[in-house]
Chain A
């Protein structure tokens, strides 16, 4: 009886292995990507350079504006790509909580991702200790400036907030607008400046404490920071006036920046590529040059940066070939692929630990950014972008209500009190994205 059973099992195992052997044919892994210049470029690169023959990668390019919404619907309906893309940790947290993502823990062990990523970066993808997503597109917000105009006017790069105020006065005296861009096309983009002011004005430690629930958002340090932001916005730093700041297009602001009518641009590092490509030099119809500097702080002359990730990747619950998908992710998150994707497509690199000079081909201004960024994060001079670290509802409050502050409809105190209320609710529900310990 027992013997028979064992033989039967052995036979079954043999059969199974035979079938498995016979099914070595190609496995397909689908990925959705935004159908823009960068997206279509890295998609091609990924398909072309992926080394394994037994896995076929199928990248579906979708209109970027609807990509995430379309994917959400598809995932809920039991369809969608094997590798899921989203705009960063807080979106991934929601998918993971809904049970739509596979845990990546054993893949992380298998492929040794723990040693490859910057430690904080891997933590960003954890939900209750389990890894569900990998961060992509390291990014921060900096001040770009029109170098040609600065040289003509003899303006210096400020290293303190006071220096920045003086510079702004000088710029306006010269009849120029202090900075762009304008957010007529992007309501959530108001979060950029708020994130920077929490870190650069109130300080990264206090912000960390608030994000971990140890300090209320109504703390005087935050009141001061937001008041300072409100003052410069109402003073017309952006676009020369609140009305234009609220209604103009990015293109409008960037064109004026390239043409030298706007002196600086308070923008994300995702623009590193675009300024050269579209707005400066020949394509912009001018002979100007640009460069960048870190937004100064109130407490230090060293450069500080808010850290953000533009997107995250995970593996869908519905994936038919999760192992193959993990293999694709492993290749995607290799330093060599990231460096190549960066130099060929201008894709912002994933937060990996890069060794040596993998960005040798990059534009020197860009190379300097990653160098300074690396130094700053090693020295603890880094802070937080709201789109990567704030919970969803609190973050909507953050960018939605700040415009009411600018428009004098609510006070800074009420704004922060409201943020605290949303935050407390989400904190209680366990919806805070993982905040890496400092």
Chain B
């Protein structure tokens, strides 16, 4: 009996994770292999991309990046995309934060309906309302403006943001809020002083996912902006196309530059980001 228990303790302490590490490494190889390939390919010439798309380049052409930068006019499009991302993320966090708080804590009449509405509305294909929306935006003078696109992006991202934030807020303890209320705080103060400081990893997560979506959005942007001064970074990336096909070496270099800031931001924030997902626990 005792021996058995000791054996159990022994096992528990030294549970082997070698097996885990081996399989995880295989999975990492699977995930990162194509990413590395993208990096390597951005150094090849266009003709070499066709003949040797998976190997190392015969010649590491650094100039691909310079050419892609210039031809893609990244300087301008980067700036625009930063504006779109920051604008959308701020607006989405404020508005969706309010809504999520209400749904998670206030249980307003019709909450169920709101949730189902959001789920279904997020599946309306954009072709169904593109033209009417465009017409409306033109009437309002929102075409070719930063706020015009930011409003659209915020609306698009609303369902997901509300869901994620709400599930995050549900996981937080309510005691602190109640304490604040007893101290005479109103609802907005509770939200700002108690919820936001507690839930900021959740907000960060939503912000990252929304920002990522806006950063790589293309289709809506080109329809609602007709002025190159307003184009986002994704349009740079489509500059390397011909009527048929495209220059894949510049495309890859351009893609690499487009992704680089996202990667850096992700790596810098990833600890917080993953914490955002883990600490509160995503609850649905």
Contacts and interface: CB of A to CB of B under 8 A. Distances in A.
- A–B touch (CB < 8 A): the answer is yes
Interface stretch (B100-108, B166-174, B203-211, B221-229): B221-229
Contacts of A61: 228
Nearest to A188: B244
Given A251-B245, A255-B50, A64 B134 contact: no
Contacts of A301: none
A250 B50 CA distance: 9
Given A35-B239, A62-B222, A249-B50, A77 B45 contact: no
Nearest to A59: B228
Contact of A278 (B47, B53, B135): B47
A139 to B, nearest CB: 10
Interface in B143-178: 143
B245 A36 contact: no
Contacts of A310: 243
B199 to A, nearest CB: 38
Interface string B99-134: 000000000000000000000000000000011001
B51 A255 contact: yes
Contacts of B50: 249, 251-256
Contacts of B138: 77-79
B258 to A, nearest CB: 14
A259 interface: yes
Contacts of B58: 285
A70 to B, nearest CB: 5
B245 A63 contact: no
A63 B49 contact: no
B248 interface: yes
Contacts of A274: 242
A428 B248 CA distance: 44
Interface in B165-196: none
B46 interface: yes
B256 interface: no
B47 A73 contact: no
Most central of B48, B227, B244 by chain A CB within 10 Å: B244
A371 interface: no
B126 to A, nearest CB: 11
Contacts of B53: 252
A62 B236 CA distance: 10
A220 interface: no
A76 interface: yes
A191 B244 CA distance: 14
B47 A258 contact: yes
A270 B243 contact: yes
A37 B239 CA distance: 9
A80 B224 CA distance: 11
A270 B244 contact: yes
Given A66-B222, A78-B138, A60 B238 contact: no
Contacts of A249: 50, 245, 248
Interface residues of A, number: 44
Interface string A415-428: 00000000000000
Given A70-B223, A254-B50, A274-B242, A76 B143 contact: no
A66 B143 CA distance: 17
A189 interface: yes
Contact of B238 (A35, A186, A252): A35
Given A73-B131, A255-B50, A60 B228 contact: yes
Interface in A42-87: 60-66, 69-70, 73-74, 76-81
Nearest to B251: A251
B270 interface: no
Contacts of B227: 60
B245 A250 contact: yes
Contact of A251 (B134, B239, B248): B248
Contacts of A64: 238, 241-243
Contact of B134 (A73, A186, A254, A278): A73
Contact of A63 (B45, B235, B242, B248): B235
In this complex, which of A63, A69, A76, A186 has the most chain B Cβ atoms within 10 angstroms of its Cβ? Answer: A63
B25 interface: no
Contact of B130 (A73, A252, A278): A73
Residue in A66, A70, A80, A251 with the greatest tally of chain B CB atoms within 10 Å: A251
B51 A256 contact: yes
A283 interface: yes
Contacts of B248: 249, 251
B226 A74 contact: yes
A133 B28 CA distance: 56
Contacts of A254: 47, 50, 245
B4 interface: no
Nearest to B236: A63
A278 B226 contact: no
A310 B244 CA distance: 12
Nearest to A274: B242
A153 B125 CA distance: 55
Given A73-B131, A255-B50, A185 B245 contact: yes
Contacts of B31: none
Interface in B227-257: 227-228, 235, 238-239, 241-248
B224 to A, nearest CB: 9
Per CB-CB distance, the 7 closest pairs between chain A and chain B, nearest first, are: A255-B50, A250-B245, A63-B238, A77-B134, A284-B47, A77-B135, A251-B50
Interface of B: 45-51, 53, 58, 130-131, 134-135, 137-138, 143, 218-219, 222-223, 226-228, 235, 238-239, 241-248
5 contacts: A63-B222, A186-B244, A256-B50, A258-B47, A278-B47
